[in-house]
Structures are given as C-alpha cells and as structure tokens.
Amino acid sequence: MYQVLLVEDDAQIREVITEYFNGKEEIQISIARDGEEGLDFVYETEYDLILLDIMMPGLDGFQLCREIRKNSIVPIIFLTARGREEDVLYGYDLGCDDYIVKPFSLAELYAKVKALLNRSKGLVGTRLLQCGKICVNPATLTVTVEGNEVILPPKEYSILKYLLEHKGVLVERETLLTRIWGYDYEGNERVVDNRIKNLRKELGDAGKQIRTIITKGYRMEE
C-alpha cells in the first residue's frame, strides 16, 4: 500500500481527490489542511509521494517544497491554479517532479501518480546502471561515484538515470524535457541545461562524462 500525502486547503478538492484515490486498493491518502500541518506530517511519517497545493495561508507550497527537499527526495507533484511559466519553472527548480495546473482530470492525476510511484520505487528496471566512474541503483535510488554515495535532487537523479540508460547515445534536450518533465510541460530547454550544470557539479570530476553536443543535447560517455 502506497502512502500519499495531500496538502490542500480547499475542502472540496481534498474531498474529491481523497474519494477518487481511496477507491484504489494500492493507494492510501492522508490529508493536511495547510502547509504547517503538512510539514508536521512529513516529519512524522515517511510518505511515498506528496501532492502539494501552492496557494495556502501561512507556509505556502513553494516554501513547503523547499523545506522537504532539505532532507528528502520523496516525489512531489504540485497541484495549483498558478499556471504561469515562471511559476512552473520555479516549481521545478525547487525540486518538484511534476506540475499540474487546476482544473485537472482525476484519471490523469492518478495515472501520473502511479507512474511516478513505480519509478521512485525502482519497479521499472532494477539492474545497476554503470558508466565509467558512475553507478546508479534504480532499486534503491542511490548514486555512487567511484564507490562514494552522491545525494542528488530528484530531477538531477532522473536525468542521470536516463543518460545512463542511453549511454553512448545522443540524448536531445527535447527528449529530456519530454521524458523527465512530461509531455504537457510548456517551459523551454534552458531548464535542462541548468539541471545538467548542477548535475555535473554534484558528480565532481565524473561530471565530465556528460558530454555536451552543441545545439543538440548530451551524451553519457565512459
């Protein structure tokens, strides 16, 4: 049974989502009515995924996401009416895994939640991914460089995993946007370059294995 936390101050939205998800045997929803309560829940319980509203009194969703990311890589999906590009980019920069603008389809939300849960739990491919000094274990979501563990933000981890799955092959920026951010992401390719820059920094000398192919994208090399 997956444990999912919904942090939402709108009672009607809480009721609709809870009723829909609790009808699925594999997911159990917990409710937090504002950001402060959500933070308390996160400190008390290890959740498999968090659904997070942004516009809440007190501690808003952006602030809560920032706090969570200090200690956790739990998957986070923003559910919000704020659909401006700068808000979406900011959400991803804070470390969210998906950004869904209200109103949304419950069926689509559920499908995205299940897909993200499956990936985060390593149910899609559990073999070790290795290239040069870098090794990723999808089953445990761990990254090591020459045997030393490296803690990556969720987006950087996802990018690294995808590049390792396609090592030696050119991966275009547009492909990374689609695979990592989703088909409905409307931002530009700059976000990919920024994440790659951060990923290289986190990997240290091994970051040189990620080669830039000018105007095209990136390739993981030995």
pLDDT of residue 63: 92
The Cα 100–Cα 142 span in angstroms is: 27
pLDDT of residue 185: 62
148 bridge partner residues: 145
168 conformational bin, left if phi > 0, alpha if psi -120 to 50, beta if neither: left
What band does 154 get if pLDDT is binned at 50, 70 and 90?
confident
Q: What is the pLDDT of residues 75-133, one digit of tens each?
A: 999 999 888 888 898 888 888 999 999 888 999 999 999 888 887 765 444 568 899 99
Q: What is the pLDDT of residues 168-202, one digit of tens each?
A: 999 998 888 877 776 556 667 788 999 999 999 99
pLDDT of residue 193: 92
52 conformational bin, left if phi > 0, alpha if psi -120 to 50, beta if neither: beta
pTM over 0.75: no
pLDDT of residue 184: 55
Domains annotated on the chain, with CATH: 2-120 (3.40.50.2300), 129-220 (1.10.10.10)
